[in-house]
Amino acid sequence: MKKLTKITLITFISLAITGASFTWWQISTQLSDNKPCLFCNHQILETHRFYEDNLVMGLCNHKPIQPGHCMAVTKRHIERFDEITNEEFLAIGRLLKKTNLAVQKIYGPSAYIIHQKNGAAVGQTVPHVHFHYIPKKKTKHKKIAIFGLLWSFVANIFKSPISMSKLRENVILMKRELTHL
Ligand SMILES: [Zn+2]
């Protein structure tokens, strides 16, 4: 193995371990502090929400892994996927499809991930059921695109949240696109 490849690999593994430890520390702190739920907090919802119906809400992420990172959450405070009703599940599905169409128009990603966690042991930091929609920017190097996305997950742990004005801008963009769907 070339020296540069070794150094890159060691750096990546070290950052991944540090990132995992930091995430665990964040989860432990949140659990021990017994903080109120972020997705039931009216102030948070007012600034992050781009969609709302009687069952679900669409929120822009304040610390996006990639531009266009959004979340679909239930309006009811429930913690896990198995607690959602069939109606809420359909509403979440409809919202994720709309979110995808809007993000495609605004950011033009080449691919996207939808993921959902259940329990602190698998990294759920907010104990209120939510689905992440994470688009992937277009890249020239398709074969290494997956490493770029993995890197975004690790690097995101060390990033600061985006400014309130940028968040407001993202919410307005999403609201505007959703009115055309
Ligand atoms: Zn909640």
Domain residue limits at 108: 36-179
Task: Kindly give the interhelix angle for 145-156 and 3-33, rounded to the nearest 10 degrees.
Answer: 40
Count the neighbouring beta carbons within 10 Å of the beta carbon of residue 67: 14
What separation in Å is there between the alpha carbon of 32 and the centre of ligand 1?
17
Q: Tell me: the pLDDT tens digits for 45-76?
A: 999 999 999 999 999 999 999 999 999 999 99
Confidence of residue 29 (pLDDT cuts 50, 70, 90): very low
Q: Write down the pTM of the prediction.
A: 0.79
Residue, of 143 and 93, whose pLDDT is higher: 93
What separation in Å is there between the alpha carbon of 66 and the centre of ligand 1?
24
17 belongs to a structural domain: no
47 belongs to a structural domain: yes
What separation in Å is there between the alpha carbon of 75 and the centre of ligand 1?
8
**For position 123, which CATH number holds?**
3.30.428.10
29 belongs to a structural domain: no
What separation in Å is there between the alpha carbon of 130 and the centre of ligand 1?
10
172 belongs to a structural domain: yes
Among candidate residues 125, 97, 116, the one with its CA nearest the CA of residue 39: 125
What separation in Å is there between the alpha carbon of 131 and the centre of ligand 1?
14
26 belongs to a structural domain: no
79 belongs to a structural domain: yes
Environment of ion ligand 1 (residues, CB < 5 A): 37, 39-40, 77, 128
State mean pLDDT over 85-98: 98
Percent of the chain with pLDDT over 70: 77
What pLDDT, on a 0 to 100 scale, did the predictor assign at position 3?
65
**Would you say 67 and 104 are in contact if contact means Cβ atoms under 8 Å apart?**
no
What separation in Å is there between the alpha carbon of 108 and the centre of ligand 1?
31
27 belongs to a structural domain: no
**Would you say 160 and 90 are in contact if contact means Cβ atoms under 8 Å apart?**
no
CA 171 to each of CA 52, 83, 89, 106, 167: distance values in angstroms, whole numbers, following the listed order: 12, 28, 23, 12, 6
Q: Tell me: the pLDDT tens digits for 119-136?
A: 999 999 999 999 999 999
Indicate the number of domains in the chain: 1
What separation in Å is there between the alpha carbon of 4 and the centre of ligand 1?
46
Q: Tell me: the pLDDT tens digits for 149-168?
A: 777 878 888 888 999 999 99
What separation in Å is there between the alpha carbon of 143 and the centre of ligand 1?
39
**Would you say 40 and 128 are in contact if contact means Cβ atoms under 8 Å apart?**
yes
102 belongs to a structural domain: yes
* Encoded tokens for 44: 């948070």
**Would you say 130 and 72 are in contact if contact means Cβ atoms under 8 Å apart?**
yes
